[in-house]
Amino acid sequence: MPDRIRKHPFFTRILWLLATFLLFFAALPANAEESAPKEQAAETSKPAVQPEIEENASKPLTVELPSASSAGIRHQLQGLRDSLDQRLAALESSKERLAYGESILARLNDEYESFELRLERAGLNLTEDYAQLLRQRLDRLEKQSIADSLITGIRERLSNAREEQLRLEEFEAILGASDEARDQLRRQRAALIRQLHKAITEHIDVLNEYFNTVETLQARIRAYQTLLQQRLFWLPSAETVGPDTAGKLVQAVVWLGNPAHWNTLVDAVKTSFAERRIEIVLLVALLLLLVSRRRVIRESLVASGEAVGNVGKDRFQVTLYALGCSVLLTLPAVMALALGSLLLMEGNDFLTALAGGFTAAAFVTLLLSFVHKVARKDSLGERHFKWNATTLDAIRREIPVLLWVLVPVSILTGALEAPGGTVHRDSLGRLLFIIASIALALFAQHIMTAVRSDVVNHKILRTLHVLAVATPVVLTIGSLLGYHYTAVQLERNIFISICWLAFNVLLYYLCLRALSVRERRLTLERLREQRAAERKQAEAKEAAENSGEGLPPALDMPEMDLEDISQQSKSLFRILACVLAATGLWLLWASVIPALQLFDNITLWTIATGIEGAETLPITLGDFILGLIVIIGTIMAARNLPGTLEVMVLSRMHLEPGSGYAITTIVKYLIVFFGVVAALAVLGVQWSKLQWLVAALGVGLGFGLQEIVANFVSGIILLFERPIRVGDTVTIGGITGTVSRIRIRATTLVDWDRKEQIIPNKTFVTQDLTNWTLSDPIVRVIVYVKVAYGSDVDAVQDILLKVAEDNDRVVADPAPAVFCVGLGDSSIDFEVRVFIEDLLDYMPLAHELHASITRALDEAGVVIPFPQQDINVRSLVESKPTE
């Protein structure tokens, strides 16, 4: 490529428009002064390593030891010799394979380190031919990766050797402690056992080393592939489009239509069907079933939206049913492409690559067709999620057109991965990429125009519109300028990113839909409960006025305002969706753009692991940022989770009053605790290093903060044990009131004078407590009555019992009772024992019973005595003194 084209800044400026310009320069190595020809010469001066290790075709060694109890000693000697010979042969083979693997690993490590150093020195000052060589090396490494079956085979040999070692130990133990010194055959047997035991132990050690070597080699190959991918991402991988491109394109078309590729199509289909008969037949049956039921599924999908908005019939299950119907409508086209892939898998190399293209096309169809079905008329997006109608119309109109372009492009692009087709990636592959990019740009233009139809001047949407349309165009220009590999990787990742964001949006709206349905039903339930509560409140107010007590104000708990709940739940769902989306995007793009790994390369401090010989653990800037994110997430979750928990969980459990408040409070504590633990773990704080701090803190708490800690622990005990609940009426320390709040340090009581009493939590745990409404709100009331001597006791009892039974405040179960309890100085004493349902009825009932008893006794002629005293006056006559 001429220097004036290679140094052209146009592509770099366009990347700046896509906000990747800074990332580009962050990925540049420091020394870029080395010339490309020198590096190219150094590259070709040393042969490249081919990290291939052939799998051992032989089966794992299985040797049957002779019986220690029934076989003769000569037979045992022969069996032990055979086992030893086979084990020594297997050991020698494993040593050779280990030596070969270690040599390959050493050469690959040297090549990797040398290659990495040369790339750092060269920077981006490399020719197109050099980039093409890098691409060839990447293709070779991807084809020469270590097979997983090789590692599985090593594991099997290890397991077999360990089993034989155990059998040999059992064989030796059964022989017993015989006098081997007097028998030459027994001495030979003992010597063979020792030799075999040593060989097995050595073989196990060799296999362990071989296993570790193969795993290290596999990891090094992956690192090598990552290095090449990152460097190729910023290098031109093809020549700039010129006059000779048309000729190459013709050659690619001729190669694509080569009869040698298609002559074995029928045989490939037959062979594939024979190999995968069950999968293909099952797939065809499901495909025919879905096609035959397609109309019924559509009608069911439309009918599912009729219940949306109807509080009595609306359920979240209706939305899940509509989602399932949308998936079923998506599957036929996907299954047809998957069927094509299965039928071509056992063909030649070209047909096998074409099967991969069908698989890629099936994946693209699954994503886009599902979005199309969600946007159907009277379907999920319109009825359930209430999305913009103009946008949905554009999606329904444009996605089929986009599929007609992307499906053939995906199939043909997959065919170019066949041997001999890679040379046509820069001609036919680039043409297919340009066609797909133009289709995506037009799709983005139409969709974003529909999105902005209602808010034309929205700045953020306008910026997204420009980026959505310009990105495929910029990538097309980059491909034409030779950055084809970079453009393909960027467009692939952008497409996957958009699909991932769409998936998160769908999850977010599903959560909002579940929340809205539950909110409507909860609102209806609360309206009904509110009417009943208003009636009860009116009765309680009347009772309070009659009793002369102040009615307690409305409590803070256990119920939350539905508007607050909605805001908290939406905030929590939004946070979770953003975290999930950001995590997926980070994992996707971190391997593509090295600049995103910058935070992991900046070490802030190191921490000793405490393991002898182990290296220190570095804490990077990325770990510090992650720790901050965990802390912020913990705070947001502690603030917003109670609302979601109230709507989605607690409201369905029909808990007792105050239970929901206790649960949400405990959940807050747990969130904060685990959030702090997670943040400290990310920052490398080890609990073993905090022992001295915990000890010092314990001493400080013991002396200075013991009351605060005691109240905190007591508050947790109150929440778990629940001797009191929000809304209970309690008496403690001579104070009677209603529990309104249970906080970390203290509990608030509202007494009958409507004064708030702040009582430390420890008081409720350590002192005597009376809870009037813990398990049973019924309270007993005793009225004392005195009658004069001479009254008919049985008649008085009947009168008092009738008065108690006629009062509406007295409950029938337990039944009222009247007893004559004593004979006083001037009266016969009775007790009227009755029960009431509400503590506020205590004083009104006492008044009513006293008044009714007074009238009833007066009407019956029964005298209510009063205290009487007899006073005797005695006069004393003074005697005159005797003169």
Where are any strands of DSSP class E within 198-341? none
Percent of the chain exceeding pLDDT 70 equals 70
pLDDT at 337 over 90: yes
Residue 336 — very low, low, confident or very high, per pLDDT cuts 50/70/90? very high
Taking only the tens place, the pLDDT of each residue in 54-105 is 555 445 555 555 555 545 677 777 777 878 888 888 888 888 888 887 888 8
Contact 723, 771 (CB under 8 A): yes
pLDDT at 34: 35
pLDDT at 65: 56
Taking only the tens place, the pLDDT of each residue in 553-585 is 444 434 444 455 566 667 777 877 888 888 888
Mean pLDDT of the chain: 75
Q: In what order do the strands lie in the sheet with 746-751?
A: 756-760, 746-751, 735-742, 729-732, 770-771
pLDDT at 129: 62
Taking alpha carbons only, the member of 771, 765, 768 closest to residue 749 is 771
pLDDT at 594: 55
The Cα 62–Cα 661 span in angstroms is: 65
SS3 content of the chain, % helix, strand, coil (to 5): 70, 5, 25
The Cα 417–Cα 354 span in angstroms is: 8
pLDDT at 529: 65
pLDDT at 38: 36
Taking only the tens place, the pLDDT of each residue in 478-519 is 888 888 878 888 888 888 888 888 888 888 888 888 877 777
Percent of the chain exceeding pLDDT 90 equals 11
For residue 814, whether the previous peptide bond is cis, meaning omega lies within 30 degrees of 0, is: yes
Contact 760, 823 (CB under 8 A): no
DSSP string, 216-240: HHHHHHHHHHHHHHHHHTTS--SPP
pLDDT at 688 over 50: yes
Higher-pLDDT residue of 188, 471: 471
pLDDT at 282: 92
DSSP string, 328-351: HHHHHHHHHHHHHHHHHTTS-HHH
Residue 669 — very low, low, confident or very high, per pLDDT cuts 50/70/90? confident
Q: What is the mean pLDDT of residues 296-318?
A: 81
pLDDT at 150 over 60: yes
Q: Give me the residue label for tokens 């000793």.
A: 608
pLDDT at 432: 92
Residue 31 — very low, low, confident or very high, per pLDDT cuts 50/70/90? very low
pLDDT at 26: 34
848: which 2 tokens?
């009513």
Q: How far is CA 480 from CA 331, 379, 433, 614, 631, in A?
A: 36, 42, 10, 51, 47
Contact 220, 105 (CB under 8 A): yes
Collapsed DSSP state (helix, strand, coil) of residue 379: coil
Element (H, E) at 304: helix 294-304
pLDDT at 692 over 80: no
pLDDT at 440: 92
Taking only the tens place, the pLDDT of each residue in 376-432 is 888 888 888 888 888 899 999 999 999 999 999 999 998 888 888 878 888 888 899
Element (H, E) at 736: strand 735-742
Residue 675 — very low, low, confident or very high, per pLDDT cuts 50/70/90? confident
Contact 328, 290 (CB under 8 A): yes
Collapsed DSSP state (helix, strand, coil) of residue 64: coil
The Cα 434–Cα 848 span in angstroms is: 94
Contact 86, 161 (CB under 8 A): no
Residue 199 — very low, low, confident or very high, per pLDDT cuts 50/70/90? confident
Q: What is the mean pLDDT of residues 112-138?
A: 66
Give the largest CA-CA distance in the chain.
Answer: 173
Residue 721 — very low, low, confident or very high, per pLDDT cuts 50/70/90? confident
H helical segments located in 652-734? 659-682, 691-703, 706-721
> Which of 153-162, 374-383, 521-530, 624-633 is predicted least confidently?
521-530
What phi and psi, each to the nearest 5 degrees, are found at residue 751? -85, -175
β-strands 756-760, 729-732 pairing = unpaired
pLDDT at 329: 92
Taking alpha carbons only, the member of 769, 714, 766, 775 closest to residue 737 is 769
Residue 330 — very low, low, confident or very high, per pLDDT cuts 50/70/90? very high
The Cα 235–Cα 34 span in angstroms is: 16
Where are any strands of DSSP class E within 592-695? 603-607, 617-620
pLDDT at 360: 92
Q: How far is CA 238 from CA 6, 67, 455, in A?
A: 12, 70, 42
Q: What is the mean pLDDT of residues 758-783?
A: 81
Q: Which amino acid is at 41?
A: A
Q: Give me the residue label for tokens 């002192």.
A: 767
Higher-pLDDT residue of 651, 670: 670
pLDDT at 144: 60
Higher-pLDDT residue of 175, 422: 422
pLDDT at 284: 92
Most confident of 218-232, 663-677, 726-740: 726-740
pLDDT at 224: 77
pLDDT at 1 over 50: no
Residue-wise burial string across 264-299, b where 16 or more C-beta atoms lie within 10 A, e elsewhere: bbeebbeebeeebeeebeebeeebeebeeeeeebbe
pLDDT at 11: 37
For residue 558, whether the previous peptide bond is cis, meaning omega lies within 30 degrees of 0, is: yes
Cα dihedral sign, 780-783-784-788: negative
pLDDT at 534: 66
* pTM of the predicted model as reported, rounded to 2 decimal places: 0.60
pLDDT at 25 over 60: no
